[in-house]
Amino acid sequence: YLGTEGYGVDFPEGNYSRLAELARCIRGKMIISVNDIPQMREVFTGLNIQTVNINYSLAGKSTPRRELLICNF
């Protein structure tokens, strides 16, 4: 997720733009889940974006957050 560097897997910011372009042009269905931040809403503009309330848990503590489910259908 953008803004959570050190998450365990390197995923540079430019990869999100490539994912968005792929979602726009492939014939198959694609669903992407990302953190709800303005940059993600901008990158995935034009695709179907739904907001989902979730809880992140760390060390037994739960924190409410929002994620985006992005679909190309």
pLDDT digits (tens, 9 = 90+) for 20-71: 999 999 999 999 999 999 999 999 999 999 999 999 888 889 999 999 999 9
Identify the band that residue 5 occupies on the pLDDT scale cut at 50, 70 and 90.
low
The whole-number pLDDT of residue 56 equals 83
Whether the full predicted model's pTM is greater than 0.95, yes or no, is: no
Closest CA to 13 of 43, 52, 41: 43
- Whether 1 has a pLDDT exceeding 70, the answer reads no
The residue behind tokens 């709800």 is 36
